[in-house]
Amino acid sequence: MSEKTRLCSLDELTEGTGKEFAAAGRVIAVFRIGDEVHAMDGLCPHAGGPIGTGTVRKGVVTCPWHGWQFDVRTGQHCQSSIQTTVFETSVENGEVYITLPE
């Protein structure tokens, strides 16, 4: 079973940087690319850094702690097989929703 939760309005997200949210006991990193929104685990798999506060260029977020980089669409690390968890998102009437596993 999954839970769909409203996170924010699309206007609250800025391209070029992520934003952190707390939902269902997790930290979620959310990224806007145009009218698309992508979400991943907010704790970097390297050492738990705040990846949602990282900068984003060309769909790749750079963790502010040690510079690991991930594709925000897939959660794939750019230089290894490490994969972080991504979550389904949707934008409905300008509102951003995320679907989280329970």
Residues that bind ligand FES (CB under 6 A): 44, 46-49, 63, 65-68
CA distance 37 to 47: 25
Cβ-proximal residue to ligand FES, closest one: 49
- The least CB distance from residue 86 to ligand FES, in Å, is 16
Residue 44, exposed/middle/buried by CB under 10 A (0-12, 13-18, 19+)? buried
Give 39 or 96: the residue with its C-beta nearer to ligand FES: 39
CB atoms within 10 A of CB 43: 18
- The least CB distance from residue 44 to ligand FES, in Å, is 3
